[in-house]
C-alpha cells in the first residue's frame, strides 16, 4: 500500500515531538476586528453577521455558490472574506498571503454566523490550514475571540481558557472610520456611512430592483461602475472612481455617471452611492442587497 503524505499532520506531529506550540505563531500574526465593530453591529442591526442572509454552500449535498435558497444566498468564502476585510478597515490590496478562518467549526454553514466579524480571523495562509487540525489552535482562537467580543455562537459551550494559552496576541486593528464615535464639541462633523438620510421604502425598493436588473447586464456602464465600488471595499475617492470609469468604460461623461448614482432626483440612476467625506461608498440602505448580487 502506497504511503500518503499529509503535510498538516506531519507538521503537527513534528511540533509535538519538539514541544513547539504553533498557537504562539497564530497569536503573533492573527488580524482581529476591533471589538467596537461587533458592538456597533449588534446594537444597530440586532445581528452579529454583516450579511445575515448569506452562508457557505454545502457542496457535498449538491449546493453551489451563487444559488439562492429560501432567501439565503450561498457562498464559498467570498462574502465572508469581503465582510471581514471591510470590518477590519483594511483594503484587500493591502493584504497579501492571508486567509479568512471561521473560529467555531461549521458555523460557516449558518447564515447567522458566516459573516460575523466576531466569528472570523485573518491568518497567514501557511497557518490557516492548521485551524482544521490542531485542537490547541482551535481552543486558543475561540478563547481569544471570547476575550475580545464577549460572545460565542448559540449552541456552543462558553469557551474556557486552554491549558496552554499564548500571551503574545496581536492587538485588534484600529476601529475603521465607519464605526468611530463622533468627537465631542460644537463642530458639526461630516456625515459618515450609516449616518445618512434614510431612504423611504419606495425609493429603496426601486433602487434594489434596478440593481437586480443591472447585475444581470455586465455590458452596461452602470454595472461596471458599481462593480468597481464594491471591489474597492467602499474606499475609493470620487476622483479615483471617475478615473477608473474613464479607463474601463466608453463613457464620455464620467462625472455625470457618478453624479447620477448619488441622487434619485429627475432621471438619475438613483441613490446607489454616497459621497462620504470625499470617499464614494454604497449607500448603507442598499449596501447589503448590492453585495449579494453578481458584479463582474
> All 3 cell numbers of residue 283?
449607500
At 197, the pLDDT band (50, 70, 90 cuts) reads low
Task: Return the higher-pLDDT residue of 110 and 46.
Answer: 110
pLDDT reading at 16 higher than 60: yes
pLDDT reading at 183 higher than 50: no
pLDDT reading at 179 higher than 70: no
Helices (H), 89-191: 125-128, 135-149
Q: Where is mean pLDDT largest: 47-56, 184-193, 241-250? A: 47-56
Mean pLDDT of 218-228: 93
Lowest mean pLDDT among 97-101, 117-121, 196-200: 196-200
Lowest mean pLDDT among 2-16, 117-131, 245-259: 2-16
If phi > 0 it is left, if psi is from -120 to 50 it is alpha, else beta; for residue 109 that is alpha
Mean pLDDT of 274-279: 83
Domains of the chain: which residue ranges?
17-179, 201-291
> All 3 cell numbers of residue 135?
485542537
Whole-angstrom Cα distance, residue 122 to residue 88? 10
Q: What average pLDDT does the structure give for the chain?
A: 86
Whole-angstrom Cα distance, residue 171 to residue 69? 38
What is the CA 228 to chain-centroid distance, rounded? 16
> All 3 cell numbers of residue 142?
475561540
Q: Which helix (H) or strand (E) holds 237?
A: strand 236-237
- Give the 3-state secondary structure of residue 31: strand
At 190, the pLDDT band (50, 70, 90 cuts) reads very low
Size of the chain in residues: 296
Whole-angstrom Cα distance, residue 146 to residue 165? 13
pLDDT reading at 186 higher than 80: no
Beta bridge partners of 100: 122
Q: How confident is the model at residue 1, as a pLDDT?
A: 62
If phi > 0 it is left, if psi is from -120 to 50 it is alpha, else beta; for residue 44 that is alpha
Q: How confident is the model at residue 2, as a pLDDT?
A: 66
Are the C-beta atoms of 113 and 53 separated by less than 8 Å?
Answer: no
On the CB side of 274, CA atoms within 13 Å amount to: 20
Total H helices, total E strands in the chain: 11, 8
At 86, the pLDDT band (50, 70, 90 cuts) reads confident
Laid out side by side, the sheet with 68-69 consists of 54-56, 72-75, 68-69
Amino acid at each position: 500500500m502506497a504511503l500518503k503524505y499529509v503535510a498538516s499532520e506531519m507538521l503537527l506531529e513534528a511540533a509535538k515531538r519538539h514541544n513547539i506550540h504553533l498557537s504562539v505563531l497564530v497569536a503573533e500574526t492573527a488580524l482581529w476586528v476591533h471589538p467596537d465593530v461587533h458592538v456597533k453591529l449588534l446594537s444597530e442591526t440586532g445581528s452579529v453577521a454583516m450579511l445575515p442572509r448569506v452562508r457557505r454552500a454545502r457542496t457535498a449535498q449538491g449546493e453551489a455558490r451563487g444559488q439562492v435558497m429560501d432567501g439565503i444566498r450561498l457562498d464559498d468564502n467570498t462574502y465572508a472574506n469581503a465582510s471581514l476585510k471591510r470590518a477590519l478597515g483594511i483594503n484587500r490590496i493591502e493584504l497579501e498571503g492571508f486567509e479568512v478562518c471561521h473560529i467555531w467549526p461549521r458555523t460557516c454553514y449558518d447564515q447567522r454566523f458566516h459573516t460575523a466579524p466576531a466569528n472570523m480571523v485573518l491568518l497567514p495562509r501557511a497557518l490557516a490550514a492548521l485551524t482544521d487540525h490542531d485542537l490547541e489552535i482551535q481552543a486558543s482562537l475561540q478563547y481569544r475571540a471570547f476575550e475580545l467580543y464577549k460572545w460565542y455562537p448559540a449552541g456552543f459551550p462558553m469557551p474556557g481558557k486552554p491549558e496552554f494559552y499564548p500571551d503574545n496576541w496581536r492587538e485588534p486593528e484600529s476601529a475603521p472610520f465607519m464605526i468611530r464615535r463622533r468627537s465631542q464639541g460644537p463642530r458639526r462633523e461630516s456625515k459618515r456611512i450609516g449616518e445618512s438620510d434614510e431612504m423611504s421604502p419606495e425609493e429603496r425598493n426601486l433602487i434594489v430592483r434596478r440593481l437586480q436588473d443591472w447585475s444581470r447586464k455586465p455590458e452596461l456602464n452602470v454595472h461596471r461602475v458599481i462593480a468597481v465600488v464594491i471591489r474597492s471595499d467602499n474606499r475609493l475617492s470620487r476622483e479615483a472612481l471617475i478615473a477608473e470609469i474613464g479607463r474601463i468604460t466608453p463613457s464620455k461623461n464620467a462625472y455625470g455617471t457618478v453624479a447620477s448614482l448619488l441622487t434619485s432626483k429627475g432621471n438619475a440612476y438613483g441613490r446607489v452611492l454616497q459621497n462620504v467625506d470625499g470617499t464614494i461608498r454604497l449607500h448603507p440602505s442598499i449596501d447589503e442587497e448590492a453585495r449579494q448580487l453578481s458584479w463582474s
